[in-house]
Amino acid sequence: MNPKALLLAAFVLLAQPFSAGAQPAALSLQEIVNLRSVTQVALSPQGDRIAYLLSVPRALYEDDDGRPYVELHVVDLEGQTRPYVTGDVAVSSMAWASDGNSIYFLAKREEDAEFNSLYQIALSGGEAIKRFTHESDISAIWPSPDGARMAFLAPEAAPEKKTELEEKGFKALVYEESVPVVELWMLDLESFEATEQAHQGSARSFDWSPDSSQYAISLTPTPLIDDSYTSQEISVADAESGEVRSQLGVEGKLGHFSWSPDGRSIAYIGAEDINDPAEGRLYVSAVSGGERTDVLPNYAGHVEDFIWQDGQAIRYLGGQGVWSDWSIASVSQPMEVGVAPSGGPIIRSVDGAPGQAVVAAVVDTPEHPGEVYLLRSNTDPRRLTNSNPLLSQRTLARQEAMTYEARDGLLLEAIVVYPIGAEPDRNTPLVLFIHGGPEAHYSNGWMSRYATPAQHLAGQGYLVAYPNYRGSTGRGVEFSKLGQNDYAEEEFNDYVDLKRHLVAMGMANPDKVGVSGGSYGGYASMWAATALSEEFAASVAFVGISNQVSKFGTGDIPMEMYNVHARVWPWEDWMWMLQRSPIYHADKARTPLLIMHGDKDPRVHPSQSLEMYRAIKLRTDTPVRLVFYPGEGHGNRNTAAQYDYALRLERWMNHYLKGPGGEPPPYQLDHASRLPEED
């Protein structure tokens, strides 16, 4: 067979779902990339309907390049769903009108020339009405409770004649200084005229007081992403004048915040201190400011979302271990939370209002990606939507949460996905997927996405595991700080210990283990291919860190890196920082390494991947390949780039864990043969 035919045969094989006899096939990579998912829910003011946004990936080889479409749908409490805005559209934000008879949403439709617009669609249906277009893209909207105004955020308008000057070749960008400040505006919902609310700083998020007379707004000194991690503050302002009346004194990272129903307090998800890796404490402060109250002291998890139940209680969503914790906290009598949950679906976000009997939620499980669920007191969560009927026609692998012990005795958690159709044994290839952050964690929900396609790999006979190593969230502040000022040592030994644990259990071949991850997980994958090369037979690193010294000078979050990761500056100990970098250990690399990166990544500069590639290329004969994705940032957003990534990931693992090894597989993928025939 000639090389081109061989390449085509390999590509077609990779794209086909696995089948064993009459058993339904496992998910193919294309099917995983094309799965739909609910991304946002909003419960109506009457509590009888849920509006939701549905992410719909583009049809591979048919649609033009781009991110998934985002549609607007509404489902009632019995599960009857109705589409409202569908097709080639990307709805970026939505909110119910205060009377519950219509829905506002943001989108850039065919008639919108340069910026997105605010639309309104009646609950009874019909065509959406364009209400307002701003001088820049609107990023978020909040209708006031009294229905009179809508607050919205938008970056300051571009300089006059910017487009005309760019056409003449004047395109210079001033790094960081030219990032536009995000402004707060008030839109009159009768006249649809907008007025700016002037504030010092750049706006991030917003919430109305119950009587619409005041608002809370989070502001940062600059619009830079680093400030959003380290320097957010909540200010309380008069809704008419915009005059700031108080500030809450936020320290460190900040998440969701919301007024109490009596208008006296504001609850927010914040950080314990400036060195806390992630917002995850639930605090309540008086609107006038002053000392904050931690309503869940010593919580051994991370609060992810919440809703006020009434003036004295808050319903909160926590990530605790690998499960979701949906509980109630008292504001007046803070108390420690008891035993962590040990099962249930994974709740990602919630929406509701004080006094309502039900809550809307985005939920996933090992059986499906995000869907709309209904939460009621004292009853199990109830699923309302089914966005992927295909899943009922596929065989899904068994998935379990497990615990294991690190070499120093620390108890850790992981998610394991078993091969389909067979029990794992000492010949089973194993792939570890390492999460980024490291201030993040895996929950026992839907695990298969383009960069972590566990269900497809399980159909190929792989055992797949997802470790929550030290430094992960979900187990309290102390646990999340365990990796600070200790790059790559114990935290990365933790995933090696998971590998050894599975091997000792007779579930994996120690010589056929691959590792992959993105961002900090990409750093872990590069470390695995170099400093820990004897442990791994294949590695795929995505948007990863190769040089901790140059990362400080080329990324966009140096203050966040200092405060919650390194806790030292490179110039305080150059050699320590270098020794915790994969490029320092490049001469040890015996693990074939595939590196992939978006060429517009602001978080981990693409040069990090180039440094790793060049170091291995110059210092060893170990197989290494570098793939750049044009226009992509810190992770692939476009559907075609996601599918291409998934194909390359799988082929690299197959080649080195199940195939001949040696020289890398061909660098090309035969996408051309998959294009539709022209008429």
Q: What is the DSSP string of 183-226?
A: EEEEEETTT--EEEE--SSEEEEEEE-TTSSEEEEEEESSS-HH
What local confidence, expressed as pLDDT, does residue 336 receive?
A: 81
What local confidence, expressed as pLDDT, does residue 11 receive?
A: 40
The three-point CA angle 635-637-640 to 5° equals 115
- 605 — pLDDT class (breaks 50, 70, 90): very high
What local confidence, expressed as pLDDT, does residue 14 receive?
A: 41
What local confidence, expressed as pLDDT, does residue 679 receive?
A: 65
Instruction: Tell me how far apart the alpha carbons of residues 535 and 512 are, in angstroms, rounded to a whole number.
Output: 9
Counting residues of the chain whose pLDDT is more than 70, the rounded percentage is 97
Residue 625: pLDDT over 80: yes
- 22 — pLDDT class (breaks 50, 70, 90): low
What local confidence, expressed as pLDDT, does residue 13 receive?
A: 39
Better-predicted residue by pLDDT, 24 or 84: 84
Residue pair 235/246 in contact (Cβ under 8 Å)? The answer is yes
List, in order, residues 6 or more apart from 574 with CB less than 8 Å away. Answer: 549
Q: What is the residue type of 257? A: F
CA distances from 507 to 183, 425, 494, 545 (A): 55, 4, 18, 31
The pLDDT of 85-102, averaged and rounded, is 96
Better-predicted residue by pLDDT, 69 or 11: 69
The pLDDT of 281-292, averaged and rounded, is 95
The pLDDT of 571-598, averaged and rounded, is 97
The pLDDT of 632-655, averaged and rounded, is 98
Residue 5: pLDDT over 50: no
DSSP result, 130-158: EEEE-SS---EEEE-TTSSEEEEEEEPPP
- Ramachandran sector of residue 192 (left: φ over 0; alpha: ψ -120 to 50; beta: rest): left
For residue range 95-138, what is the model confidence (pLDDT) as tens digits? Answer: 999 999 999 999 999 888 899 999 999 999 899 999 999 999 99
For residue range 219-254, what is the model confidence (pLDDT) as tens digits? Answer: 999 999 999 999 999 999 999 999 999 999 999 999
For residue range 428-470, what is the model confidence (pLDDT) as tens digits? Answer: 999 999 999 999 999 999 999 999 999 999 999 999 999 999 9
The pLDDT of 279-289, averaged and rounded, is 96
DSSP result, 222-286: SS-HHHHHH--EEEEEETTT--EEEE----S-EEEEEE-TTSSEEEEEE-SSTT-SS--EEEEEE
What local confidence, expressed as pLDDT, does residue 678 receive?
A: 76
- 8 — pLDDT class (breaks 50, 70, 90): very low
The pLDDT of 498-521, averaged and rounded, is 98
Instruction: Tell me how far apart the alpha carbons of residues 83 and 118 are, in angstroms, rounded to a whole number.
Output: 18
Residue 599: pLDDT over 50: yes
Q: In what order do the strands lie in the sheet with 81-85?
A: 37-43, 49-56, 69-76, 81-85
How many other CB atoms sit within 10 Å of the CB of residue 4?
A: 12
CATH topology for 393-664? Rossmann fold (3.40.50)
For residue range 161-215, what is the model confidence (pLDDT) as tens digits? Answer: 888 999 999 999 999 999 999 999 999 999 999 999 999 999 999 999 999 999 9
How many other CB atoms sit within 10 Å of the CB of residue 355?
A: 10
Q: Measured in Å, how far apart are the chain's first and last C-alpha atoms?
A: 30
Tell me what the pLDDT averaged over the chain comes to.
94
The pLDDT of 33-49, averaged and rounded, is 98
* SS3 per residue for 152-191: EEEECCCCCCHHHHHHCCCCCCCCCCCCCCEEEEEEECCC
Residue (of 70, 50, 178) closest to 123 by Cα position: 50
For residue range 553-573, what is the model confidence (pLDDT) as tens digits? Answer: 999 999 999 999 999 999 999
Residue pair 333/353 in contact (Cβ under 8 Å)? The answer is no
What local confidence, expressed as pLDDT, does residue 16 receive?
A: 44
Residue pair 279/319 in contact (Cβ under 8 Å)? The answer is no
What local confidence, expressed as pLDDT, does residue 558 receive?
A: 96
Domain ranges across the chain: 393-664
What local confidence, expressed as pLDDT, does residue 133 receive?
A: 97
